[in-house]
Amino acid sequence: MIGHELIVWSDSLITGVTEMDEQHRILVNSINEANTRLAEHVNAEILDQITRDLLSYALYHFETEEALMQSYNYSEASLADSDLHMKQHREFSATVVAVREGIKAGRLMSREDLLSFLNNWLINHILNTDIRLAAHILVCRAATT
C-alpha cells in the first residue's frame, strides 16, 4: 500500500502518449500537493479545494482520454477495455462527488483514505488501464505515419 510518500514521477508512469502523460504529470503533482497540504491539517476547506481540483482534472483529463478513444475507435477495437476504462472514469468522478457530499454533511474523509484512494486509482489506472489505451493509440499512430 502506498502510504504517505509522495509519488515520484518515473518512466514507469509514462504511457508514451504525450497529451496523456502531460496531464498525468499534472495529476501526480496535484496529488503530491494534496498530500503536502493534508499533512498540515485536514479540514473541509482543503478537502473542498482538493476535490474541486480533482473534479476539474477529471473533466479535462477524461475528456482528453475519451476524445482520444473516440478518435482512435477504441471501443471498436476493444469494447471491453473501452467500457472498463470509461467505467473507471465514472467511478472516479462518482467517488469524488461522494467525498464532496460527505464533506457537506460533515463527514470528512481522512487523509489516509483520500490519499490511498488517489494513489491506488492513479497507479492502477495508469499502469493497467491507460497503458492499454496508450498502446492502442500508439499502434494506430504508428500505422498512420
Partner 1 sequence: MVSKNGMNLNFFHRYSLKTRVTLFTLTIFVSGIWSLAFYVNHLLHVDMQRQLGEQQFATVSILATELDHELQDRLQALEDVAERITPEMLGNSILLQDFLEQRPFFRGQFNGGILVLNPDGAIIADSIHEAGVEISPTDSGAALALKTGKSAIGKPRLLRNHPEFDMAVPILDEQGNIAGTLSGVINLNQPNFLEKITGHRYGTTGGYLLVAPQYRLVVTATDKQHIMQALPAAGINPAIDRNIAGFEGYTILTNPLGVEELASIKKIPVANWYLAAVLPASEAFAPIHAQLINMLAATLLLTLLAGSLTWWMLRRELSPMLSAITTLANLSETNQYPPPLPVTRNNEIGDLISGFNRILETLWQRECALKESETRFRHFFEHNSSVMLLIEPASGEIINANDAAASYYGYPLARLIGMLTSDLNISAPEYLARERMLALSEERNYFIFRHRLASGEIRDVEVHSTPITHDGQTLLFSIVHDITARKQAEQEAAALIQRNKILMDNAIDGIHILDEQGNLIEANHAFYRMLDYTPEQARHLNITDWEAKLTPDELSATILHLLSSHAVFETVNRRRDGSIIDVEASAVGIELDGKRCIYVASRDITERKKAENEIKHLAFYDPLTGLANRRLMTDRMEQALLHARRYSELVVVCMIDLDGFKHVNDQMGHKAGDQLLIEVASRLQECLRQSDTASRFGGDEFAIILGGFKKISECEQLLDRIIISLAVPYAVMGEIAHVTASIGATIFPNDGGTADLLLRHADQAMYEAKQAGKNCYRLFNPSHQNQQQANQATLKRIEKALSDGQITLYYQPQVDCRLGKVIGSEALIRWNHPILGLLSPSEFIPLLEHDDLIITVGEWVIRSALSQLTEWRSKGIALPVSINISARQLHQSNFTERLNELLKEYDSEIINLLEIEILETAALEDINVVAESIRKCSTLGIRVSIDDFGTGFSSLAHLKHLRVDALKIDQSFVLGMLHNPEDLAIVSGVIALASSFRHKVIAEGVESIDQILMLLELGCDTIQGYSISRPMPAERIPSWLASFNPDPLWKLSYSHRPTRDYFELLLAETNHRHWIAQLIESLGDPLETNISERLDVRVCRLSHWYYGEGYRQFSAESWFRSIEPLHLLIHQTATSLCEHRRAGDESAAEADQAALTLQQDEFDSLLGSLRETMAKQYLIDSTAIAK
Round to whole Å and give the CA distance between 123 and 48. 23
Dist. CA 32–CA 36, nearest whole Å: 6
Does 113 interact with partner 1 (rule: CB under 8 A)? Answer: no
**What distance, in Å, lies between the first and last C-alpha atoms of the chain?**
41
Could you tell me which stretch among 48-56, 77-85, 109-117, 136-144 binds partner 1 (CB under 8 A)? Answer: 48-56
Q: Which is nearer to partner 1, 87 or 145 (CB)?
A: 87
Residue 108 binds to partner 1 (criterion: CB under 8 A): no
- Tell me the C-alpha distance between 5 and 140, whole Å: 36
- Number of helices and strands in the chain (H, E): 6, 0
Applying CB under 8 A, the site for partner 1 has a residue count of 33
Of the candidates 12, 70, 120, 128, which one interacts with partner 1 according to CB under 8 A?
Answer: 70
Q: Does the footprint of partner 1 cover residue 102 (CB under 8 A)?
A: yes
| Separation between Cα atoms, residue 9 and residue 6, nearest integer Å | 9
Q: Which of 6, 9, 14, 30 binds partner 1 (CB under 8 A)?
A: 30
User: Coil, strand or helix: which one is 6?
Assistant: coil
- 45 binds partner 1 per the rule CB under 8 A: yes
- Cα(75)–Cα(62) distance, integer angstroms: 15
Among 40, 142, 144, 145, binds partner 1 (CB under 8 A): 40
Q: What does the alpha-carbon distance between residue 127 and residue 13 come to, in Å, rounded to a whole number?
A: 7
Q: Which one among 101, 110, 112, 128 touches partner 1, defined by CB under 8 A?
A: 101
Binding site for partner 1 (CB under 8 A): 26, 29-30, 33, 40-41, 45, 48-49, 51-53, 55-60, 62-63, 66-67, 70, 89, 93, 97, 100-102, 104-107
